[in-house]
Amino acid sequence: MRPSILHRLLRRVASTAALALVAATLSTVGAAPPAAAAGGLQQVTGFGTNPGNLQMYEYAPAGLPANAPLVIALHGCTQTANGYYTNSGWPKYADLWGFAVVFPQTTSANNPLSCFGWFDPAEDSRGKGEAASIVQMVEHAKQRHGSDARRVYVTGLSAGGGMTADLLAAYPDVFAGGSVASGLPAQCATSQAAASGCQTGPQKLTPAQWGDKVRGSYPGYSGPWPRVAIWQGTSDYTVYPANATALRDQWTDVWGIGRSPSSTDTLPGNTTRSIYNDASGKPAVETYSVSGMGHGLAVSPGSGTDQCGTTAAYFLNAVCSTYYTGVFWGLDQGTPGGGQLPAPAGLQVTGVTANSVSLSWNAVPDAASYTVHRNGTKVASPTATTYTDTGLTAGTAYRYTVAAIDGSGTPGTTSPQVTATTNGSTPGQCFTATNYAHVSAGRAHTTGGSVYANGSNENMGLYNVFVTHTLKESPAGYFVIADSGCAT
């Protein structure tokens, strides 16, 4: 593209906040999103109120078990969910290791170059815009697949990498880990004018100042923090390598660890990995510097376990970043950093009532406590090897898993799942909850993004956590809306 044409295009898009990562992606400007997903990728509609006007696509292997991990993968500017699905390698490891992948998609309706709004506080802040839409996708996918709420991860390339960092900062309670590929530090830019400057050289802030940008994204939150992988090519002149340094400074400060690596090794593709351990000796931050690589996601086509992806624009042949990211997160059934406590054996249901389930399991040596998860959500942290879950709905099935927690607070491997069904039902009971909670508890169901009361099939509105209704059960299993009053 001739420089004069480039300059005219840059002037035209500047007023629409498309400065973010323009130079890397002009060759595919105008690429339309796929009308229909291909090769196993499926579009999902009705996942929430969708304040960020995004589209949701997902890939889930056949026979995916409950309590499997969930990965969110964000494309770069001018890319699509289908392109990221096709070239990144994530479907291979979803099949191999057993997890679902959600591919959010933004379009030119949001940004002329289909960039995620990593530089816009209205889009990348907690509870707002595109960030809120992505978290709604997470909640929908967790419900749809029974995913483990403790093992939700987010990754992204370029503008998607910038949004990944912002999501980790704004929602550390949602994401257990992240991977930023050729991306930007969290909250590097808060306006379109600052976006281009971040790309070529982020602000010269101290690690504490970078860390404050994370801590300020969710005030009052004190951990646990996500484990973060940072991928960067040394010859990237679109998002300069200084961004990887700033990302390292930011997240090591958040973790309260030093900036000198605990260890360094060499991977394929002239890649140097530096590992920064937490206080317990487990990797909290890892940086991957790919010598000579430009702007893009590192892939390594082939059939080997550590090979993945397809080369294309901004999918560059070097090393399979997806494989090493997945291992870092523990998706291969291993442990980030090793030394994880084993799964508690012998988990069993020892008793049920109409509103409670009692569990027991075998002790794990060196466990300081345990976490009990119901339907993928943490409900208790007992120190004993028994627990009674109360306040449940009669005649409802619940899924449980247990994991041991070591002295540093690190969870071990999750136990196999058991299912318990509470006794009977209590007609005449009333339940006030969000639509999401009613569906989770088995009092309602979803169709086409809306929620309907079980039995009466009354329309309760959108499937989300913002709409609340009172339901009355009478007779057993038959629910009616009782917002105006619920006499038993």
Q: Which residues are catalytic?
A: 158
CB 330 within 8 A of CB 399: no
Which residue do the tokens 């090897």 mark?
385
How many Å apart are CA 323 and CA 97, to the nearest integer? Answer: 11
464: tokens are 């989300």
Q: How far apart are CA 15 and CA 20, in angstroms?
A: 12
Are 81 and 105 in contact by the 8 Å Cβ rule? The answer is yes
Q: What is the CA radius of gyration of the chain?
A: 23
Contact criterion met (CB below 8 Å) for 57 and 83:
no
Spatial distance between the Cα atoms of 350 and 362, rounded to a whole number of angstroms = 13
Element (H, E) at 313: none
**Amino acid, res. 78:** T
Among 270, 218, 276, residue whose Cα is nearest residue 247: 276
Strands 450-453 and 152-157: unpaired
Tokens of 34: 């796929």
Phi-psi category of residue 46: left, alpha or beta, with phi > 0 → left and psi -120 to 50 → alpha: left
